[in-house]
Structure 1
């Protein structure tokens, strides 16, 4: 099973190649011998590795002879060496060496080794090889050594024993599954392993990264995550199988190729009958198949069963572990599924189901449902599937629960089949409305929003389905999760306007509508709706969830519009209520709103990031990883971006993307990643994310439109497309219904910046109407922010300072350096390095335009450049360098700025190789754990019975020892090492 070396690259073998060169050439002294025997299953890449190693050894100055053994035993003595010499003779041009090669070939033709002449022949061959080598290191490369003839085997032993007089190395490949029983090579390898100069290397399959790399090289592009996962599971990292499957993907072939089918069938057919039965049984089972279960299915005596399993393992078809047996390649199950008659397959699954049912241990309901279904008895499979779904829900495994509820739905509609004995199975009885209800809810919880809506429509058409108001509430929840805000709001309002809805339904609709309005930035409406929801909930028993939702919305509204401290107190109380209720979605919602408030309007970024990451960890424990955890990690990413920790933000967003979110959850994460990509100047990645967001928002999603348009405007400006930036901003001003003055101020800044830069670059004409409209927005933001809470005014004032400075560029074409200096100071105070660096760039530009304070301008440019370089903000760095070049300012003066390492675009955060907390004392670890929970020094002191001043000293020591500056950085190190 050699790979196609013309098209498939060698991947994942760099360490092996280096070790081969060292063992066969670099570490072999003149007159010494060495050998490396590569063992491995068929298709693992032994032949390809031999070819690549031979080429590299030739390039290093060795004389390499390559040959392969034939599967015809001793019928062709010394065949691989003869073959290698003939190949060498055909390639040689030097007369002297060619003569030595032909002389050695003539020895083979003249003499046939017999019992008496074998020693003499080996001596003559050894001398002949010495002449052929001509003083160079000689490497003999042999493939398929499992078929080696006796003469060649004796020659290898003779040469490796050092009885010759040449520097010789042997590199040979052996198919591991062929070394069974009393194979003569097994004994030889056992003896050779004792020699220091001999190594036996078992070539393992590729790891996941190598598999993905090889598949991408063949297909021509990285595989989609689902396709990559499936290929990895099916191939087990075997390079030959990876190549075949990848070619099928590339060429659009469905099913399994005939090549792979025949290869695996041949390997299974080569097994003795008991081992053959064992492999068929494991292929039909749910891995891992425990030994006791396999024994009841194949029904062999214990000693025969163990021997059969041993044979299957030795032939590299099964893998044994403490928890049971697995197929080495899942493809074997696909191949064998078509080799059994339907009655044979049903009988196997029936035996599995009966064995699981009769087991005294706890039932494996999911496996039981699987086997009864494939045995053709849906009535017996359905209760097991429902039990498995409920167990998954109990453990908050919503993705698994959805899979089981979907299977139960299928079973409920499966027509009865004829059993192998000719009888009829029991009829299936199920409450279809109940199944649809559970399937839709589990789909919603695990992020399959489109599927949840489709199932809900089926439920609405079922006569036994829930009442109309309950359906409206569910549909609204699913629509909101899918990012379709407008129809979701309409559904909630239908409930509140309906006369036949219950008080409980009204309270639920009011609370959820308050939450939705909050997400849409309509804070005053959200607060009013939250108060109404709390009033309605007060008269209804068991409305903890409604109280949590309404309190979170009310607290956010009050913190934004009126009193931040009072609002925060309400939100923290909502989190306490949620934790006491224990309902996962309530806990997630409370954490989400608290983190959003802290990292957004209140600008308490460090605490907000810690709360977001702690909340993400908590909801992951509750089984909401794909939905709420991703949203919380998106909030953490945005907070880290604002404080300039872009590298850490990228690790967080990469970890969140592993959940493959959908709907609004995916939009949150894509916008967070796009924010980083725009800052980095990665145009292609930014465009890709914005297109994906626009696609998801096609069905609605007003909440995300403004952030998307702001990013599109920012990206267009770095591309010099000021007309596109203007269009994005004007669309945002037209579509916005948000009360969020911070978002509006950000949008206004981008609009004014686009007009100012269009004027400076003279690429497009300034639009007076657009500028007039933007001035009106700035005035409106100033008026609105004056009525908001102090923290909101604080953040909005920073953007208003940028707007005033941009307007000065429009007014005189140069800009007011004092206004830009004020903007820089404002953003320094807020710990936002990116807009601060941008402001210094513009301040320097304004000073150069006025030809005043040139030394100060140069200092500002160097300071801005250092910040941009540390962030990795390439477009900003380029603009600074362009201005520095025009002004003849050397940016390398002053302290050296270290560039960040290249960014791993999709890499997950790696765990530290050492415990970074080892430098802390036990008490400092306790303090740091509390810091990571988001507690203040006073709260930590109350918990640990230490004064607040002492806690401050501990925190300072922690910062010094961990070499960090903020509580966010310290908390990140704590969470990373605790996860380890």
Structure 2
């Protein structure tokens, strides 16, 4: 039975395998040789490459002899060749080789001659191998060559010199860390590198995407981002370490396995004493550890220190660079930490802290705080942690600042303890705990840790010397809004405005933030009124630039929506200029967000809106707000690209935003944007997963996101054939909506009428007259409201109203093709291909039902099919094909270079044929990635072709493996080629 290691997928080595196969089967005459020596650290996958290459060479017709050297020196001459020959001929397929094999083994069984007879022995062995090969290419595969005995080494050199009259290839693996000092193989490899027929390949660790792919294959699912990061940091990409850690993770084992611990301990124990001390010191340091700092910690003379470092690097435990030394595997630090006594560990950190303190030019407050804290000196660590937090804020590193403020809070509460030498530790400095809590809460808010910010604020409110109640109301409201809890946030802002204790500046701030919140909730008239109030209050207070920016942005959006789009847009552009002048990061981010939302939303200036959103995301990332405001801006860009029909580009934007690991309302925005794509693609599982996550996050509030969530839920339910669920989602939205957003209401009404029309057409669910009546009332209300809105708002709303009118006609048995033609034309003018394609489908359907103009219906179906294919809209494409099949309309396929993946059958629809589409579970992007995998491209090459990061390709490959239930790229490629033969 194969072991788990043997059955683990071979990841990231496709290029190396191709090189090995081509190098080891050269078209050369007998007497010519080729050799490849694989070098690399233990666990990097050399033995696995030997095994995989041997299989491929056997399949190509070569005779492969495999053996391994033993760690017992010259005690077993020619052992690997003996072992290989004994393995050969054990099966019936090799029966013809048995006489030659037995003859060669008899040569070995004779007494080994002295040095004067070595040449004769080598000649006899060479002749014996010639007989064994029988005219076939011979490949000698030897593992662990670092332990090769002298006789085998001489035989290899004899054969590689071409003296054996063989068509011979040699493939070996060597542990680099074992070639220390005067190891004889070092000199041999140096000389062999000079030969054109010899290649020495250094096998490096896996890259990040390969590490993620291997871990996901063993665990059975892609790792969470935090777990994947930890896997990468601990393993350094070493496949053996990745496999061990992944199995522990899969099986629920905590800590470090005994296998890994012993592997790394044995490698460290093999170091000379000084090198051991160097590795121990670097393991306790904050990487990279500069040479000058390491010298002060280990306290060795310079020459001895350099020798020790060289030994640690040669043993593949340290990596040296211009900026200092790092451990090749962070696991070494974990292993060595457990080997130290607490006093030894504290002493190392004390030496680091003292060295950093004595060199102020090199001082880094974060490292100083770290080492003093682990040395048991909280009094000295606290001021360093506070300085590190302020430095991080100055550099706009809010995540780091939050971490340092949290450490400072912990240190401030740490009692004074005795130092290891028996003296009292330095007493903590006097600090204002209120200041610590305020700074920690604000940093947590800025870096997206909104729940943590609220907890710290609650703790701050209990402090006797805490801020006044009005300031707490405003701050709590900001944090609640960021966490997606809109209702309690609005209540807090109103408490602040009603409080007699609020100053004029606080009132202006509260009014501006409330205007922004109302804007996000779609209550545009209230937002405009509140913004005017904020501007009036801010005009009476000096230094209220932030309030002016927020209020101006809200007012501009409100005016653009309700009254004058041009004037409102001009106000918002001025707000952005004001924000950039003030330089406050949150003001800049807010101005960019509202401008992008206005352009991609009611004004329908999509290209410019996407450009502003992406430019704004890059700008706020520079300001340290990439995880929060930057994520929201990328979500806006994704929605704009979706409407433009650029779904593949939208996927790339979503992937970039997900790397921020957003939380709260930022995460909700992004999940909704991604879900919109998944619904369009027909990826039911991914859509459900995102909608469930959004629903969970909105349990505590988040009214502004409920309507988009319900619209997506209704759209997904219709593609699943669950028209009753779609109806429930729409009716809930109509009940809960308080928004002035006529576009959202019109979208919701369309989904509701579409659900009733689908139910009527399928006869699966009875049409609900009450729901239809209510939806008609909503359409009338939207029509009346949109007439009073700005021209751009009315322009977009009219597109959805055209869809609503056409859906109502479907309830009258046949549908009105003229209404659907009008809807298609409306969406063509707006450059929204998805509803335009859908309208053409329904127009063709209405014509066919009426048995009118079949040629026009066929033309419409072909147009809709081309548009849906270009988008990758799988359910829509499937429905178009179903209707075309019933009408016997031949659809035009795109040229091969432009062909999109074949659409998946709509859930609940009748299958189109007996063949099961194994690729149906894949999204459009995953199909593109799989097509490139089938071409033999590496993740890096696929990323370059599709303009996606190598890491994202690795995630896609993991998802493909999971959905296709395969473990290797070869298996996945076979499925793809089977469907595209």
**Structure 2 match to 1:324:** 324
Secondary structure at the aligned position of 1:462 is classed as coil
In structure 2, relative to structure 1, the CA distance for the partners of 1:388 and 1:766 (3 Å cut) is same
Give the conservation status (yes or no) of the 8 Å contact 1:236–1:330.
yes
Task: Name whichever of 723-732 and 15-24 sits farther off.
Answer: 15-24
- Give CA deviations for 1:76-127 in whole Å, capped at 9, x if unaligned: 1111111111111323555542011111111111131312211111111111
**Structure 1 match to 2:925:** 903
The offset of 1:344, in angstroms, is 1.1
In structure 2, relative to structure 1, the CA distance for the partners of 1:658 and 1:731 (3 Å cut) is same
Matched, 1:660 2:661: yes
CA distance in 1, matches of 2:296, 2:3: 40
Give the conservation status (yes or no) of the 8 Å contact 2:47–2:143.
yes
Task: Name whichever of 231-240 and 7-16 sits farther off.
Answer: 7-16
- Give CA deviations for 1:392-445 in whole Å, capped at 9, x if unaligned: 111111111111111111111122222121001122132211111111100100
Give the conservation status (yes or no) of the 8 Å contact 2:507–2:537.
yes
CA distance in 2, matches of 1:643, 1:48: 48
Matched, 1:635 2:657: no
CA distance in 2, matches of 1:79, 1:909: 41
The offset of 1:520, in angstroms, is 0.2
**Structure 2 match to 1:856:** 856
CA distance in 1, matches of 2:926, 2:285: 40
Give the conservation status (yes or no) of the 8 Å contact 2:34–2:160.
yes
**Structure 1 match to 2:917:** none
Matched, 1:841 2:841: yes
**Structure 2 match to 1:271:** 271
CA distance in 2, matches of 1:628, 1:417: 43
Give the conservation status (yes or no) of the 8 Å contact 2:756–2:768.
yes
Taking the TM superposition and a 5 Å limit, the aligned residue runs for 1:573-972 are 573-810=574-811, 812-892=812-892, 898-900=898-900, 902-904=924-926
**Structure 1 match to 2:135:** 135
In structure 2, relative to structure 1, the CA distance for the partners of 1:878 and 1:575 (3 Å cut) is same
CA distance in 2, matches of 1:223, 1:188: 43
The offset of 1:62, in angstroms, is 1.0
**Structure 2 match to 1:506:** 507
The offset of 1:900, in angstroms, is 3.4
The offset of 1:330, in angstroms, is 0.3
The offset of 1:515, in angstroms, is 0.5
Taking the TM superposition and a 5 Å limit, the aligned residue runs for 1:470-481 are 470-481=471-482
Secondary structure at the aligned position of 1:554 is classed as helix
- Give CA deviations for 1:730-763 in whole Å, capped at 9, x if unaligned: 0000000000000000000000000011001101
Matched, 1:365 2:387: no
CA distance in 1, matches of 2:224, 2:432: 38
Count of paired positions:
913
**Structure 2 match to 1:87:** 87
The offset of 1:27, in angstroms, is 4.4
- Give CA deviations for 1:478-498 in whole Å, capped at 9, x if unaligned: 110000101111111111111
In structure 2, relative to structure 1, the CA distance for the partners of 1:911 and 1:151 (3 Å cut) is closer
Give the conservation status (yes or no) of the 8 Å contact 1:3–1:240.
no
**Structure 2 match to 1:118:** 118
CA distance in 2, matches of 1:116, 1:895: 73
**Structure 2 match to 1:968:** none
TM-score by length of 2: 0.91
Give the conservation status (yes or no) of the 8 Å contact 1:113–1:151.
no
The offset of 1:35, in angstroms, is 1.0
CA distance in 2, matches of 1:468, 1:94: 88
CA distance in 2, matches of 1:464, 1:204: 58
**Structure 2 match to 1:946:** none
Task: Name whichever of 456-465 and 712-721 sits farther off.
Answer: 456-465
- Give CA deviations for 1:265-295 in whole Å, capped at 9, x if unaligned: 1111111111011001100111011111111
CA distance in 1, matches of 2:40, 2:897: 50
Task: Name whichever of 409-418 and 219-228 sits farther off.
Answer: 409-418
The gaps in structure 1 that reach 5 residues or longer are 917-980
Matched, 1:232 2:232: yes
Taking the TM superposition and a 5 Å limit, the aligned residue runs for 1:460-609 are 460-609=461-610
CA distance in 2, matches of 1:95, 1:368: 71
Give the conservation status (yes or no) of the 8 Å contact 2:89–2:95.
no
In structure 2, relative to structure 1, the CA distance for the partners of 1:95 and 1:762 (3 Å cut) is closer
Give the conservation status (yes or no) of the 8 Å contact 2:679–2:712.
yes
CA distance in 1, matches of 2:58, 2:361: 61
Give the conservation status (yes or no) of the 8 Å contact 1:492–1:513.
yes
**Structure 1 match to 2:355:** 355
Give the conservation status (yes or no) of the 8 Å contact 1:869–1:898.
no
The offset of 1:894, in angstroms, is 9.7
**Structure 2 match to 1:22:** 22
**Structure 2 match to 1:450:** 451
Give the conservation status (yes or no) of the 8 Å contact 2:30–2:165.
no
Task: Name whichever of 887-896 and 791-800 sits farther off.
Answer: 887-896
CA distance in 1, matches of 2:866, 2:96: 66
Secondary structure at the aligned position of 1:593 is classed as helix
Task: Name whichever of 860-869 and 760-769 sits farther off.
Answer: 860-869
In structure 2, relative to structure 1, the CA distance for the partners of 1:635 and 1:39 (3 Å cut) is same
Give the conservation status (yes or no) of the 8 Å contact 1:92–1:98.
no
The offset of 1:912, in angstroms, is 9.5
CA distance in 2, matches of 1:609, 1:909: 27
Secondary structure at the aligned position of 1:117 is classed as helix
Q: Give the alignment's Cα RMSD to 1 decimal.
A: 1.8
Secondary structure at the aligned position of 2:760 is classed as helix
The offset of 1:913, in angstroms, is 6.5
CA distance in 1, matches of 2:28, 2:323: 44
In structure 2, relative to structure 1, the CA distance for the partners of 1:4 and 1:149 (3 Å cut) is farther
Secondary structure at the aligned position of 1:5 is classed as helix
**Structure 2 match to 1:260:** 260
CA distance in 2, matches of 1:501, 1:184: 83
The offset of 1:909, in angstroms, is 12
CA distance in 2, matches of 1:590, 1:213: 40
- Give CA deviations for 1:568-622 in whole Å, capped at 9, x if unaligned: 1111111111111100000000110111111101111111111111111111110
Secondary structure at the aligned position of 2:67 is classed as strand
CA distance in 2, matches of 1:461, 1:499: 21
**Structure 2 match to 1:958:** none
Give the conservation status (yes or no) of the 8 Å contact 2:44–2:203.
yes
CA distance in 1, matches of 2:387, 2:822: 65
Secondary structure at the aligned position of 1:361 is classed as helix
CA distance in 1, matches of 2:850, 2:208: 59
Matched, 1:69 2:69: yes
**Structure 2 match to 1:924:** none
**Structure 1 match to 2:954:** none
Secondary structure at the aligned position of 2:925 is classed as coil
- Give CA deviations for 1:897-938 in whole Å, capped at 9, x if unaligned: 932364149999999969x9xxxxxxxxxxxxxxxxxxxxxx
The offset of 1:31, in angstroms, is 2.9
Secondary structure at the aligned position of 2:139 is classed as strand
**Structure 2 match to 1:941:** none
Give the conservation status (yes or no) of the 8 Å contact 2:820–2:843.
yes
In structure 2, relative to structure 1, the CA distance for the partners of 1:94 and 1:401 (3 Å cut) is closer
Secondary structure at the aligned position of 2:339 is classed as coil
- Give CA deviations for 1:747-795 in whole Å, capped at 9, x if unaligned: 0000000001100110100000000000000000001111111111111
Give the conservation status (yes or no) of the 8 Å contact 2:65–2:140.
yes
CA distance in 2, matches of 1:4, 1:711: 43
CA distance in 2, matches of 1:9, 1:567: 58
Taking the TM superposition and a 5 Å limit, the aligned residue runs for 1:187-226 are 187-226=187-226
Task: Name whichever of 227-236 and 567-576 sits farther off.
Answer: 567-576
In structure 2, relative to structure 1, the CA distance for the partners of 1:894 and 1:119 (3 Å cut) is closer
**Structure 2 match to 1:957:** none
CA distance in 2, matches of 1:524, 1:311: 73
CA distance in 2, matches of 1:325, 1:893: 58
Q: Comparing both chains, which one has the higher relative contact order based on Cα–Cα distances under 8 Å and sequence gaps of 6 or more? A: 2
**Structure 2 match to 1:375:** 375
TM-score by length of 1: 0.91
The offset of 1:379, in angstroms, is 1.0
